């Protein structure tokens, strides 16, 4: 009887010891997750497709994260979901503990990079920017996407058909992703503007309004002037007057433009020379902002037919040619 009791006590003691060991192991493993990474600054960390969880841990350690690899191996056995990392490029911060780092890898929330595509630039300028961005891939897929988009457009060109904005993407994204987003955003803005356009506009389609918006964009960078400039151009079109706007002439000159527009340039016939042709040029001449698009479809009601740059970024508007000529002498020729 005494021997049996001793045996029971021994078993209970062993169970207690084992329980304490397991409890200690549990707290140790939990501590491995909750401790800080040891990083002193933010790090970019890449997980390749097919890379194992243990390979990821080894790479983390090489990049300065302090961790016990064997302990995490046990942890992954007990909690397999902690090892289900997604391939991608991540940013890990000094403020993160080890468990938070793992959660970032599990979530697949990659570090996002950005590109700011600015209004007033041409498609060729944007293309160079996309091609040179270190986190974007510009390849045959991109070229095919561009060709497919252009084939469906009335202008057969992406000029004006992308909305200026800042676009975000993961490292290694194809540039076609940004192009597609910018085009879809432009379509949404343009469709809404066309549906809510003012009455009696001289546009036969939303495309013609987009062309006008691109001209407005090039004429002024002052937001409050855009509807007024739109009003002048709409008045001129309604009166069958030529637009006579320098930005279209410059666009038509292409690489021949040397930075200084000359009298002969204004007389040289091109499809974009609005001093020679009547109506709108055949395509947009730049990427137009949402504000410029809104101005084109909601122009300010005015009787003005002329405007001239004052030299400070703003313009002097005139009702008559006589007033306009005086403004030209004052602001362009500096004659009082």
**Token pair 């501590």 in the structure block, residue:** 31
240 phi-psi bin (left φ>0, alpha ψ -120 to 50, beta other): left
With 0.75 as the threshold, say if the pTM is over it: yes
The pLDDT of residue 21? 47
**Is 40 strand, coil or helix?**
coil
Q: According to the model, what pLDDT value does residue 20 have?
A: 44
The CB density around residue 155, as the number of other CB atoms within 10 Å, is 15
Q: Which pLDDT score is estimated for 306?
A: 93
Whole-number pLDDT of residue 16: 54
DSSP line for 281-293: -SS-SSPPPHHHH
Beta strand segments in the chain, E: 43-47, 88-92, 112-117, 136-137, 165-170, 173-174, 306-309, 315-318
pLDDT at 68: 78
What is the DSSP-derived secondary structure letter of residue 8?
H
3-class DSSP assignment, residue 96: coil
Residues of the chain where predicted confidence (pLDDT) is lower than 50: 20-27, 336
pLDDT for res 64: 86
């Amino acid at each position: 009887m005494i021997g049996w009791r001793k045996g029971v006590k021994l078993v209970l003691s062993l169970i207690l010891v084992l329980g304490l060991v397991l409890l200690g192991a549990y707290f140790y493993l939990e501590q491995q997750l909750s401790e800080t990474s040891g990083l002193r600054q933010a790090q970019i960390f890449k997980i390749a497709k097919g890379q194992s969880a243990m390979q990821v841990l080894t790479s983390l350690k090489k990049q300065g994260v302090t961790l016990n690899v064997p302990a995490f191996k046990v942890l992954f056995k007990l909690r397999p979901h902690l090892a289900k990392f997604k391939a991608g490029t991540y940013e890990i911060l000094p403020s993160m503990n080890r468990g938070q780092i793992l959660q970032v890898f599990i979530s697949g929330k990659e570090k996002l990079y950005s590109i700011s595509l600015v209004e007033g630039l041409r498609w060729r300028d944007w293309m160079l920017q996309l091609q040179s961005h270190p986190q974007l891939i510009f390849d045959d897929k991109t070229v095919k996407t561009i060709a497919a988009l252009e084939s469906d457009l009335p202008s057969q060109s992406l000029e004006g058909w992308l909305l200026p904005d800042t676009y975000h993407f993961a490292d290694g994204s194809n540039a076609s992703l940004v192009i597609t987003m910018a085009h879809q955003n432009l379509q949404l803005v343009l469709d809404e503007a066309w549906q809510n356009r003012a009455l009696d506009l001289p546009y036969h389609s939303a495309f013609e309004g987009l062309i006008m918006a691109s001209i407005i964009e090039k004429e002024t960078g002052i937001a409050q002037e855009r509807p007024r400039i739109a009003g002048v151009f709409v008045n001129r079109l309604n009166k069958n007057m030529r637009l006579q706007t320098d930005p279209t002439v410059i666009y038509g000159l292409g690489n021949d433009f040397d930075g200084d527009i000359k009298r002969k340039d204004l007389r040289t016939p091109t499809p974009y020379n609005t001093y020679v042709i009547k109506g709108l040029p055949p395509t947009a001449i730049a990427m137009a902002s949402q504000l410029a698009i809104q101005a084109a479809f909601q122009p300010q009601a005015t009787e003005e037919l002329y405007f001239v740059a004052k030299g400070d970024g703003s313009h002097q508007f005139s009702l008559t040619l006589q007033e306009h000529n005086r403004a030209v002498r004052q602001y362009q020729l500096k004659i009082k």
